[in-house]
Copies of this chain bind each other. A is one copy, B any other.
Amino acid sequence: TTTHRIALIPGDGIGNEVIPAARRVLDTVAARHGLGFTYETFDWSCERYADLGAMMPDDGLDQLRGHDAILLGAVGYPGVPDHVSLWGLLIPIRRGFQQYVNLRPIRVFEGVPSPLRDAGPGDVDLVVVRENVEGEYGEIGGRLGRGLPEEMAVQEAVFTRKGVTRVLDYAFALAERRGGRLTSATKSNGIIHTMPFWDELVAERAAAHPEVAWDQEHIDALAAKFVLDPRRFDVVVASNLFGDILSDLAAAVAGSIGIAPAANLNPERDFPSMFEPVHGSAPDIAGRGIANPLGAIWSAAMMLDHLGHPEAATHVTDAIATVLAKTPVRTPDLGGTATTEE
């Protein structure tokens, strides 16, 4: 039996409901596939911030370092500004552990209607590959002249050849294993100097992956095409901010924000990778036991795959598809009455 050490960070709100559900699925899968998991649970959260003034301890990353993977619920709660909670927990892990690929698969499942008139099951099956540690998000920024009429705030977006190239290579390789098509999100027509650079690197990496058919779209037109013709996409590679927007949008197009998973990958395995549902802490329904656990469960499946157990991963995603297609069991966000436990 391989034993994997998993760090659980339920975090805030419904994170505390969906992570236990995902853990039960992992334990069931472990029994069937001869795997072993040991868990360590961390109470890092807005509650901790309220008590102790910090989302996580100073040596938080060191505490996580020895684990094989991290399963995270959700971060953020009313009363704590989002930039405090997120900048204090989720983002430092992504960055500190060089989880530079954020992988977000999106599918229309049988039994979960898309809000689009003509997107049926199987029509939408794409992956957003989001650059996850540099780009539009970053520490270089701040304010001048607080409170004065001349006040301003600045933010520096930084794109490096190394940082862009590695995520592009990941995306092109993924396209080779999937449908062989890749779309790059850009905005090189607006005055954004980083974007012509991004485009050049895409063309450069495309030349190294000649089997992949690729194109590029400006982010505004691409967002529109996600609604007008989502079938055409296979792998979509995007910067940190654009990937964030596109992956939520695609999940909405698939009718399934509550189902969408994410993997924050350090492909070199120098550090643990982190798996988390795309949905947030949902304070409006937290504590009622009705949160949709499928996003966390699918995220756990991505973790199984990353840990070297692709059959176990497929077992879980097949189970998700079967429950949605063949049973009426679904949580209120999908129009049902089931509880998280059910």
Please list the residues of chain A having a beta carbon within 8 angstroms of any beta carbon in chain B: 76, 81-83, 85-87, 91, 113-118, 136-139, 141-143, 145, 148-162, 187-198, 218-221, 223-225, 227-228, 240-241, 244-245, 247-249, 251-253, 257, 280
Contact = CB atoms under 8 A, between A and B. Distances in A.
B115 A228 contact: yes
5 contacts: A81-B196, A82-B189, A221-B280, A223-B223, A228-B252
A154 B117 contact: no
A149 B223 CA distance: 32
B155 A161 contact: no
Nearest 9 pairs between A and B by C-beta? A141-B193, A82-B189, A224-B252, A153-B197, A220-B248, A151-B161, A227-B252, A137-B191, A223-B249
A139 B191 contact: yes
Nearest to A186: B82
Contacts of A136: 136, 190, 192
Nearest to A243: B220
A247 B219 CA distance: 11
A228 B158 CA distance: 33
Contact of A194 (B155, B160, B187, B240): B155
A24 to B, nearest CB: 28
Contact of A152 (B76, B87, B160, B249): B160
Nearest to A134: B152
B227 A245 contact: no
A100 B219 CA distance: 21
Given A157-B155, A158-B154, A241 B187 contact: yes
A194 B141 contact: yes
B251 A154 contact: no
Given A83-B196, A151-B161, 13 more contacts: A81-B196, A83-B195, A85-B189, A117-B117, A136-B136, A137-B192, A141-B193, A155-B192, A155-B194, A157-B157, A220-B247, A220-B249, A224-B251
A152 B141 contact: no
Contacts of A198: 153
Contacts of A219: 244-245
